[in-house]
Amino acid sequence: MGINIINEFWEHIEENRHKKSIERIYQWLNRDNLASIIVNNNVYWIETVCQFSTFPKYAFDYIKKWCNKKGITYLYDIPIKY
């Protein structure tokens, strides 16, 4: 079980909304595309509201950069060890 940090991400976006690059992300979030950012043991994954939600690269890249600064790793960036 993980912790949903979507509210923390929303707060960050709203505080920095005056920046042009973040305004685009704010508009995308306002269309209710992102359901959650779940963190469990310093690993996170992203959930959209449905399988038909669009996820633009600029939003995905920004979320990854924001999470990396928090010291958490994207689930699919963990190297597989055989």
Query: Between vectors from CA 56 to CA 47 and to CA 10, what angle results, nearest 5°?
Result: 55
Residue with the two structure tokens 């994954």: 45
Residues 6+ apart with CB under 8 A from 30: none
The side-by-side arrangement of strands in the sheet containing 43-48 is 3-4, 34-40, 43-48, 73-74
Q: Pick the residue with more confidence: 79 or 72? A: 72
Query: SS3 letters for the chain?
Result: CCEECHHHHHHHHHHCCCCHHHHHHHHHHHCCCEEEEEEECCEEEEEECCCCCCCCHHHHHHHHHHHHHCCCEEHHHCCCCC
Average pLDDT over residues 12-23: 92
The 10s digit of each residue's pLDDT in 36-68 is: 999 999 999 999 988 887 789 999 999 999 999
Residue 58 pLDDT: 93
